[in-house]
Amino acid sequence: MSGYRKKRYFNMVKKAPYFFTLPFIVSFAMFFLYPVIFMFVMSFQRIEGLDSWAFVGFDNYRRISSDVNIKPAITNSILFTIGILVVNVTLGVLIAVGLNNRRTLFRNAFRSAIYLPALTSIVVAGIFFRLFFGGGENTPLNRLMTILHLPTREWLYDTQLTGIFALVITATWRWLGTNSLYFLCGLQSIPDELFEAAEIDGANSFQRFWNIIIPGLKPILIFVSTTMVYGGLRMFGESYVLWPRGSTPGGIGVTMVLHIYKTAFTSFDFGYASALSVLLFIFLILINIIFIKFLGIGKQEGSA
């Protein structure tokens, strides 16, 4: 009897990991794997209503070359990604260095406050920045332009670059604090002995920053850069809330994901929207492979 109980116990121990991971496996299959597979299937279909669909082969993919909205969507997504990458990495590192300095006043209060924008709803942030970038003479940004004796603008409807500027500012306001905390954690993992040795050797502040801080932050720089590129290329919320219901005249502010959304839920062309989603999905995978291959993600220091 004891042998039977012992065997039963070991069987339960072997099955326990599968039991505890079952909820994740089920949710992953239902809410990610199945939609992805169905997206691939839909990309080869013409769907007209819930009950009317037909296989059309690669017709949806051929339509991409004649889509007049695809070029501004790709251009805006790339420019937006470059903008948030440069701004968030540069300012994030500088803010982290300031918060890590013991001589910074109220640095603990700033560490807490800087994360608050990440907790704010994108809808609330979008309403605020839609008013901030408004075209009226008395809107905050145009009032500042008047004080500086610069021409006022319809920031959200002027040019493609002003639209990208508004998107970058909105996204940076939300995520700069989070990225700064990432860099701050990386800074605190750098041994103080390195800074003390550099100071003894006569290194100035810039030399310590360039030769100690930047190499020490390499893993965090790779992580933040990867998340910024991935998040920038799939950005949707900021463009949707800055322009009411995603109405972006002349392609100002339209991104790839917003274009996919409007194609699916405004034009109800689900087959073509699925084809666009497949291409974006493949492109994001290629970007991740490039980051893993050339930035050494997952490799140990000193390994070939």
Alpha carbons 304 and 173: distance in angstroms, whole number: 39
Q: How many domains does the chain have?
A: 2
| Domain-located, residue 300 | no
| Domain-located, residue 180 | yes
- Which residues form the domain of 111? 68-295
Same domain, 12 and 150: no
- Which among 10, 37, 60 is the end of a domain? 60
| Domain-located, residue 302 | no
Sign of CA dihedral 120, 121, 124, 127: positive
Same domain, 8 and 107: no
| Domain-located, residue 155 | yes
- Which among 60, 81, 96 is the end of a domain? 60
- What pLDDT shows up at residue 304? 44
Same domain, 56 and 165: no
Which parts of the chain sit beneath pLDDT 70?
Answer: 1-13, 49-50, 245-247, 296-304
Per-residue H/E/C for the chain: CHHHHHHHHHHHHHHHHHHHHHHHHHHHHHHHHHHHHHHHHHCCEEECCCCCEEECCCHHHHHHHHCCCHHHHHHHHHHHHHHHHHHHHHHHHHHHHHHHCCCCCCHHHHHHHCCHHHHCCHHHHHHHHHHHCCCCCCCHHHHHHHHCCCCCCCCCCCCHHHHHHHHHHHHHHHHHHHHHHHHHHHHHCCCHHHHHHHHHCCCCHHHHHHHHHHHHCHHHHHHHHHHHHHHHHCCCHHHHHHCHHHCCHHHCCCCHHHHHHHHHHCCCCHHHHHHHHHHHHHHHHHHHHHHHHHHCCCCCCCCC
What the block records as the tokens of 292 is 């893993």
Alpha carbons 172 and 117: distance in angstroms, whole number: 10
| Domain-located, residue 181 | yes
- Which among 43, 60, 77 is the end of a domain? 60
Q: For the chain, what is the radius of gyration of the CA atoms?
A: 25
| Domain-located, residue 163 | yes
Same domain, 38 and 119: no
| Domain-located, residue 106 | yes
Same domain, 171 and 251: yes
Same domain, 32 and 74: no
| Domain-located, residue 303 | no
- What pLDDT shows up at residue 206? 86
* Span between the terminal Cα atoms of the chain, in Å: 54
Same domain, 115 and 209: yes
Single out the residue of 92, 266, 274, 287 nearest to residue 180, CA to CA: 92
Same domain, 86 and 12: no
Same domain, 191 and 49: no
Same domain, 195 and 85: yes
Same domain, 91 and 210: yes
Q: Which CATH number fits the domain that encloses residue 227? A: 1.10.3720.10
Same domain, 53 and 101: no
